[in-house]
Chain A
Amino acid sequence: MKIKNRVLRENINSYLFLLPFLVIFLIFLAYPVIYSFILSLHRVTPYTDLYNVFSDMKFVGLKNYLKLLNDSKFWWSLIVTFYYAILTIPGMIILGLLLAIFLNNKLPGVSFFRSAYFLPNVLDILVVSLIWTLIYSPHFGVFVRFLEWIGIKGFSEKGILGNPRTALPGIAFAMILKGSGFGMILFLSAIQNIPHSVYEAADIDGANAWQKLIYVTIPLVKPIILFLVIMGTISSLNAFTEIYAMTQGGPYEVYFLGEIQGATKVSGFYLFENWAQMRYGYAAAISYVLLIITLIISLINARIMRRKF
């Protein structure tokens, strides 16, 4: 009887401590996964009460998903997202690794450089995007002027972001400069954990710097490279703010499946647009498909990780 009492007390106490977290978790993180699916089977009714939209939706079954299959804008947004991932992930990994290798030397001011490269990571992404919009802007933007100065004149009229070919790479470049300090810190702590004897052994075998990088360093930091690939993929699927601030999905000069498409319209931005146009059911369907894509990517990555390590 006494033991039973103690177990009960322990349970009550534990739940009292957990309660605030658990309630918020269940309402705002667990339930939405189910609720989002329910919403995706519904559609906002026209002429609905603006303050009561969500209680007033009409059940449409799988119609939203069927519509999604034939939506060229949705497929295009997936392509752009994939392209964005390809543009950002290798750049961040290579730059992060290079910086880490450079900083792994005895130099004056190493800790200053470490802070300087990491700092942009913590700054507001909206503000950073606004500053880059200014730098990339036509006629007066300092980047365009620099290009003119070295003899490239093609960007004077529309700037970097007004040109469908350079808009997404331009955004990716800004985000690589903002984000590569994160990889740098991870690589740096991994490289510092590699015993010196490994490099000494390579020295004795007559390996040059390049060979040491390819045969010693990279294999030993592979888990971090994989981690950065996963993180980069997920953040491409989450990309929104930089697109919102820099291009709003445009310029609209690309043809795909017979329709004009925005050159930088990633799936996150397309989802936002549907939300902004109050197509909540359709937006929920898009987010569900994106969730499934993310889960598949995570599973594939988990499998690769398990096989290699």
Chain B
Amino acid sequence: MINERRIREFIKRVILFIILSIGAIIVLFPFFWMLYIALKSPGKEFVLDFSFVKPFYANFLRVWKNESFPFGRFFLNSLIVATSGATLTALFCSMGGYVFAKKNFYLKEFLFWIMLSTLMVPGMMYMVPQFAIVTKLGWINTYKGMVIPHVASVFGLFLLRQHIETIPDSLISSAKIDGASEWQIFRTIIVPLSLPVITTVFLLTFLFQWTNFLWQLVVNTPESMKLTLPVGLALFRGQYQTQWCLLMAASSFSIIPIAILFLIAQRFFIEGLTAGAIKG
């Protein structure tokens, strides 16, 4: 009787394992396919065999140093935009989160309420007015035009406020008695104690900026030298419709770093992305 139940349990697990494996293959298939096509020689992308271009990195090299579409440059641009955006966002959100968590100031409730209500506005509707503002500021085709409008992340500020509230007030007041300035308190108490949440905000913003397509398409004209990877990919595809092996090689420049980053820092990504859901 017990034996039979064990066998049934075992069979159930084997079946589940097989289903999950097939599912994982289907979900990850597009990315294997991308690499597979990126390794084929031009013109032979659709011959389903295992003959690959030699040397295997030929396609990657060709797009990295391409003259009209220098993906090496696009990669660098993406890196600059994502890193500076993430750094500024993490810094400004921690500073703002600190005062919202620990201080009383004039108009605090009102500002909090306004920030909360902008969370309801869908991102798409910001395209036209933000484009108008950036045009008026003369920020078209600049890094700041790509980065600054998205640096005030209300979500990041709330995440940090929520965490900083849990830091005991006694730590802050004893530092004050020791004569620490506000900035010293922020730097030596608040930042070290919120480092995991700051990392989360940093990584999520990095990801957001790295994969942001619409805004970077809007603030750059096609001949801009500041194009990021997704925009470069879209324009490249417009010109070389059939060069799939090159397009897929260029695509891996966008996919592979993020996949590695995700595997290293998975915990932060998952906690950050699901934080909004659990609290809301």
Q: Please tell me which one of the listed residues B13, B247, B263 contacts residue A105 in the complex, with CB atoms under 8 A apart.
A: B13
Which residues of the partner chain B approach A36 to less than 8 Å between Cβ atoms?
A: 125-126, 128-129
Q: Is B133 an interface residue when CB atoms closer than 8 A count as contact? A: yes
Q: Does B87 contact A (CB under 8 A)?
A: no
Among A128-136, A156-164, A200-208, A252-260, the one that faces the other chain is: A128-136
Interface residues of A in 75-134 (CB under 8 A from B): 99, 102-103, 105-109, 112-113, 115-128, 130-132, 134
A54 interface contact, C-beta 8 A: yes
Q: Are A177 and B136 in contact (CB under 8 A)?
A: no
Asked if A127 and B111 make an inter-chain contact with CB atoms under 8 angstroms apart, the answer reads no
User: Is A10 interfacial (CB-CB < 8 Å)?
Assistant: yes
| B131 to A, closest residue via Cβ | A275
Q: Across the interface, do A127 and B129 meet the contact criterion of CB distance under 8 Å?
A: no
Asked if residues A177 and B26 are in contact (CB atoms below 8 Å), the reply is yes
Note all chain B residues with C-beta closer than 8 A to A234: 122
Smallest Cβ-Cβ distance to B211: which chain A residue: A124
Chain A residues 29 to 57 lying within 8 A of chain B, measured CB to CB, are 29-33, 35-36, 39, 51, 53-55
In the bound complex, what is the Cα–Cα distance between A182 and B27 (angstroms)? 13
Contacts of A177 in B (CB 8 A): 26-27, 30
Residue in B26, B45, B106 whose beta carbon sits within 8 Å of that of A11 in the complex = B106
Q: Contact check: which of B20, B233, B251, B259 meets A113 at CB < 8 Å?
A: B20
Complex formed: what's the CA distance from A18 to B230 in Å? Answer: 33
CA distance A290 to B108 in the complex (A): 30
Interchain CB contact under 8 A, A130 and B251: yes
A27 near B: Cβ within 8 Å?
yes
A10-B93 contact given A28-B148, A35-B132, A294-B120, CB 8 Å threshold: no
B108 to chain A, nearest CB (A): 8
Residue from A117, A140, A174 in contact with B46 in the complex, judged by beta carbons closer than 8 Å: A140
A181 to B149, CA, bound (A): 29
Query: Number of B interface residues, CB 8 Å?
Result: 91
Query: Is there an interface contact between B270 and A185, defined as CB atoms closer than 8 Å?
Result: yes
Q: Does B127 contact A (CB under 8 A)?
A: yes
Given A32-B133, A241-B214: A24 and B148 within 8 A (CB)? Answer: yes
Least CB distance from A122 to B in Å reads 5
Number of interface residues of A (CB under 8 A): 91
How distant is the Cα of A103 from the Cα of B19 in the complex, in angstroms?
11
Alpha-carbon gap, A291 to B27, bound state (A)? 33
B24 at the interface (CB under 8 A from A): yes
A300 interfacial by beta-carbon distance below 8 Å: no
Q: Does B130 contact A (CB under 8 A)?
A: yes
The stretch of A66-74, A212-220, A280-288 that contacts the partner chain: A280-288
Indicate with 1 or 0, residue by residue over A216-250, a CB within 8 angstroms of chain B CB atoms. Answer: 00000000100100010010011011001100000
B192 at the interface (CB under 8 A from A): no
Asked if A119 and B135 make an inter-chain contact with CB atoms under 8 angstroms apart, the answer reads no
B139-180: CB near A (< 8 Å → 1, else 0) gives 000000000111110100100000000000000000000000
Q: Are B266 and A115 within 8 A (Cβ)?
A: yes
User: Are A28 and B128 in contact (CB-based, < 8 A)?
Assistant: no
B213 near A: Cβ within 8 Å?
A: yes
Complex contact A28–B130 (CB within 8 A): yes
Answer yes or no: B196 CB below 8 A from chain A CBs: no
CA distance A11 to B259 in the complex (A): 44
Per the bound structure, the CA–CA distance linking A32 and B129 in Å amounts to 5
> For the complex, what is the distance from the CA of A182 to the CA of B275, rounded to whole Å?
12
- State the CA gap A291–B121 with chains docked (Å): 6
- Min CB gap A283→B, angstroms: 5
Chain B residues near A25 (CB, 8 Å)? Answer: 115, 118, 152, 154
Contacting residues, chain B, for A21 (C-beta < 8 A): 92-93, 95-96, 151-152, 157
Asked whether A65 is an interface residue with its Cβ less than 8 Å from the other chain, the reply is: no
Which A-chain residue is minimally distant from B186 (CB atoms)? Answer: A17
B280 near A227 with CB under 8 A, answer yes
Query: Inside 8 A of A182's CB, which chain B residues have their CB?
Result: 273-274
Q: List 5 interface pairs A-B (beta carbons < 8 Å), by A numbering.
A: A128-B30, A134-B248, A272-B214, A275-B131, A295-B120
Using A14-B105, A119-B28 as known contacts, list a sample of 19 further A-B pairs with CB atoms less than 8 Å apart, ordered by residue number in A.
A11-B106, A20-B92, A25-B154, A29-B118, A35-B133, A112-B24, A115-B262, A122-B259, A124-B254, A134-B248, A142-B33, A145-B48, A182-B274, A227-B277, A237-B124, A240-B214, A288-B125, A291-B122, A294-B122
Name the 5 nearest CB pairs between A and B, nearest first: A32-B129, A140-B46, A14-B105, A287-B125, A25-B152
What is the interface of chain A, defined by CB distance below 8 A to chain B? 10-11, 13-18, 20-22, 24-25, 27-33, 35-36, 39, 51, 53-55, 99, 102-103, 105-109, 112-113, 115-128, 130-132, 134-135, 139-140, 142, 145, 174, 177, 181-182, 185-186, 189, 224, 227, 231, 234, 237-238, 240-241, 244-245, 268, 271-272, 275, 280, 283-284, 287-288, 290-291, 294-295, 298
